[in-house]
Structures are given as C-alpha cells and as structure tokens.
Amino acid sequence: MIKNSLPKKIEVLIVGAGPAGSTLAYELARLGIEVLLLDKANFPRGKTCAGGINVRTLRFLPFDLGPVVERVITGISFTRNLEKHFLRRYHEPLLVTVRREVLDNFLAQKAIQMGACFADGTQFFSLSQEGVNVQVETSAGACCAQFVIGADGAQSIVAMNLELMTATPYMLAIHSEVPTSLFPWVEPDLIHIDWGSLKRSYAYLFPKKDFFAMGAGGFKIPPPQIKNYQRAFGYTKWQKEETPPFSAAGFLLPLRQKRSLIHQGRCLLLGDAAGLIDPFNGAGIHYAIRGAQLAAPLLAEAVKERRDSLQSCQEAINRNLMPEIECSRLLREIFNLCPSFFHRKFATSDRWWVAMAKIMRGEKTFVDIKNKLGPLGSLLLRMAR
Ligand SMILES: Cc1cc2nc3c(=O)[nH]c(=O)nc-3n(C[C@H](O)[C@H](O)[C@H](O)COP(=O)(O)OP(=O)(O)OC[C@H]3O[C@@H](n4cnc5c(N)ncnc54)[C@H](O)[C@@H]3O)c2cc1C
C-alpha cells in the first residue's frame, strides 16, 4: 500500500475501497490499466452492514470467497408483525454472511495482487475536470487522472463535487451487533426476517461466528418508528432486559430513481454512491460488484481510445442492472398492498418459496417474475419508475 506520496499521474483513480471500488480496481488492473484506489480509512476498516451475500453474487466473483465466509445460510425463519412464525429450508445454500472489515480487506488485497496501487488512509477532498484530465485533491496531495470513479459510498463526496445524486430518496437502516449469548438457540445456518409490520420495512437477524447482525430498514419511515421496530424485533427474540445490552446506529442508503445521471464527463459513480441498491431489502453488495464488473471493460476502452465521456458505462448499468432494481421496487410496492397474503403464500406454497430461493441463488430474477405478469407487469413497472 502506498504511504505518503501518490503518483502524479494515473489512468484511473478510484475513490473508495468498498466492494465497488476494489472490484473495479481488480478488473481494471486485470485489463492492464494503471489504477490508483484510495480510501480515507486505514485498512482493515469496519463498515456497518448485515454482511449477507447471496449465492447469486458469489457466482459473479472470479475468486472463491471461502476464506472470509462466517456462516453458510440454507434457510429463513419468517415472522409477520413479529408473530405468525414459519421456517423454510432449502437443499442448497442461499447466502453467506461475512464481516465487512474482513471482506473489504480481502477484496482490496485481490486488487493489489492484480496490480492496482492502493493508498489507504488517504481522503479525497475535491476534483476539477480540466481539458483531458481530472485534477484530484487528497489528504496525500494532488493527482492527475484520465478518469475518476466515485465509489465512496452512501454519503459520496465525489457525487457532491459533481452535483450528481441530489434529491435522491433514501432508505433508513438501524443496525446493531448483538452478542450471540443473547440468542443461544439461534441456528447458525438460518437468518430471521420479520416483514409486513411497518410499510416498506423489514427487520433481520444474521448470524456471524461471534455475534449477530440485527437491524431494521425501511423506506419513507420516520426514524423513531424504525428504531422502535428494531427494538421490538429484538425483544421478541430475547425478552429479558428493558435496556438492550448493545447500541444501535442509523444509516441512510440512497436509492437511484428515474435512471438519474451517474456520470459527468470523465467521472462516474458506482455502488452506493450511484444509489445502486435493492429497494426491497437495501442490499447493495451485489450491485456494487456487478456495476464495477460492467463498467471495467468500457472504462478500459475509454482509456485506450482517449474518450472524454463515460456515458457508455451509465448505459450498461441502465441496461443490465436497472430493470432488476426497478422490478424489485415494483414488487416491494405490490408486497406492501397486502403483506399478510404474501406471508401466507411463502409459508404454504412450495412454488413460491422455491422461486424466492432461486432468486437468491441467481437462477431466477425479479424481471422473470415481472414478465410472468405480462403486459400488466410492464404497465406497473412503468408506473413504479
Ligand atoms: C445497516 C446496513 C446493513 C446492510 N446490509 C447489507 C447486506 O446484508 N447485504 C448487502 O448486500 N448490502 C447490505 N448493506 C448495503 C451495503 O453495505 C452497501 O450497499 C455496500 O457497502 C456498497 O458498497 P460500496 O463499495 O458502494 O460502498 P462502501 O462499502 O460504503 O465503501 C465506500 C468506501 O469509500 C470510502 N470513502 C468515503 N468517503 C471517502 C473520501 N472522501 N475519500 C476516500 N475514501 C472515502 C469509505 O471509507 C469506504 O471504504 C447494508 C447497509 C447498511 C447501512
């Protein structure tokens, strides 16, 4: 990792070494592009996250995540309104859980091994696009890049500099790390989901080796409501103490809408910075990785052909990722019309449960489900956009 001085000139500079930034750095280095990845934090660094990664996402990775997996999940225990419990198991893994400090460090190391330069502990301050270059100011000095990628997360300073992603709606998430001793009976291969209690919200309990990730997320929900919901979800699980023996913190997750602009000249946003997050459940690791994988070959082409725009990257994301994100938003709205119906269906219909399992495993998509609705699905989708 580079300390103290940055190269004066680089082909691609990436701000933020989360899954989006490190995946892009890995892919660009593999394509022979000079890439500088910088992050304000010293690695390994913590990142608040439930750390659930679907099998669908694992299938897109060019390497095995085995060394960083905490738990392999093969079933989901559901409640609605914190009651009406049922349990569904699948004969194959649905997702894995990871600790983000371990996963993100692993991905950054993969990028370094592929040939990317990584400057951690280096904060991005500002950029200006001048002629054929982008001038970047950081805490370790200035650097001149042909292209700059903002993969700096939900509160992206790059997006702010570019005046992109203004007026973006947010999902609110409340998250805690809970000692395993509080839920000694929880099985390590199950996650717990409560849904249908608050509109467009759900609560989760994800097992790791040494603790549980417990939280709640919701769209258009006032913060006190989601906070109380997360507490109530916890109480139903341990029912012991008045004051929870752990703290909770809140986070905002931007949701890209109306295919808003995520590029400007020689700059592009990826991952949370671009609002590429599943509107149903707030998961973004899949879209962070996929967005980077889609953008990499186009960016490499732009470097080699000395282009001055990254519009092709935005188009690839619009074409390949947005239909899925928009269908997820549509299904969230349909689910919210009658959560009790959907809860009952997933409890009683093997067909519905298998469809959900296949989506998590990448063997089916939300778009397939929308297509089953025929012209009505397309009409609803247009309205949901
Ligand atoms: C409570 C909660 C639970 C979640 N659970 C899940 C889950 O189970 N599964 C899932 O798929 N998604 C989950 N998510 C979403 C997931 O965390 C994000 O979608 C994912 O981290 C996005 O990756 P990214 O690379 O875009 O950004 P990030 O992972 O946020 O990485 C951004 C990086 O940019 C760096 N940075 C920021 N500003 C600067 C700067 N000025 N200069 C230099 N570096 C900078 C940061 O230090 C950070 O390392 C959850 C989110 C929250 C809040």
- Mean pLDDT of the 35-51 span: 96
Nearest residue (by CA) to ligand 1, atom 4, is: 49
Q: Where are the beta strands (DSSP E) in 112-233?
A: 117-119, 124-130, 133-138, 141-150, 170-179, 190-195, 201-207, 211-219
Question: Distance between CA atoms of 155 and 272, rounded to whole angstroms?
Answer: 8
Q: Which pLDDT belongs to residue 3?
A: 57
**Nearest atom within ligand 1 for CA of residue 57:** 11
- Within 10 angstroms of residue 14's Cβ, the number of other Cβ atoms is 34
Nearest residue (by CA) to ligand 1, atom 31, is: 18
List the strands of the sheet with 190-195, edge to edge. 83-89, 75-80, 190-195, 201-207, 211-219, 170-179, 249-254
Nearest residue (by CA) to ligand 1, atom 13, is: 283
Q: Is the pLDDT of residue 4 over 70?
A: no
**Nearest atom within ligand 1 for CA of residue 51:** 8
Q: Is the pLDDT of residue 299 over 80?
A: yes
Split at pLDDT 50, 70, 90, the class of 237 is low
Stretch among 28-32, 194-198, 346-350 having the lowest mean pLDDT: 194-198
Nearest residue (by CA) to ligand 1, atom 29, is: 18
Residue type, 180: T
The CB of 279 under 6 Å from ligand 1? The reply is no
Q: Are 266 and 148 in contact (CB under 8 A)?
A: yes
More confident residue, 337 or 274: 274
Helix axes 322-337, 375-384, angle to 10 degrees: 100
The mean pLDDT of the chain is 92
Rounded to the nearest angstrom, the distance between the alpha carbon of 5 and the centre of ligand 1 is: 26
- Within 10 angstroms of residue 83's Cβ, the number of other Cβ atoms is 9
The alpha carbons of the chain give a radius of gyration, in whole angstroms, of 21
Pick from 91, 65, 70: which is nearest to 363 by CA?
A: 91
Nearest residue (by CA) to ligand 1, atom 12, is: 283
Tens of pLDDT, residues 301-337: 999 999 999 999 999 999 999 999 999 998 899 999 9
Percent of residues in the chain assigned helix, strand, coil, to nearest 5? 40, 25, 35
The CB of 84 under 6 Å from ligand 1? The reply is no
Q: Which pLDDT belongs to residue 2?
A: 61
The CB of 278 under 6 Å from ligand 1? The reply is no
Q: Which pLDDT belongs to residue 16?
A: 98
Q: Which pLDDT belongs to residue 371?
A: 83
Question: What domains can you pick out in the chain, each with its CATH number?
Answer: 9-46+100-167+256-322 (3.50.50.60), 64-98+169-254 (3.90.660.20), 325-384 (no CATH)
Split at pLDDT 50, 70, 90, the class of 232 is confident
The CB of 196 under 6 Å from ligand 1? The reply is no
Cα angle 214, 253, 194 (rounded to 5 degrees) comes to 35
Question: Distance between CA atoms of 93 and 360, rounded to whole angstroms?
Answer: 9
Q: Which pLDDT belongs to residue 127?
A: 97
Q: Is the pLDDT of residue 163 over 80?
A: yes
Q: Is the pLDDT of residue 378 over 60?
A: yes
DSSP 3-state assignment of 312?
Answer: helix
Rounded to the nearest angstrom, the distance between the alpha carbon of 283 and the centre of ligand 1 is: 10
Tens of pLDDT, residues 52-77: 999 999 999 999 999 999 999 999 99
Tens of pLDDT, residues 350-371: 999 999 999 999 999 988 887 8
Q: Which pLDDT belongs to residue 238?
A: 54
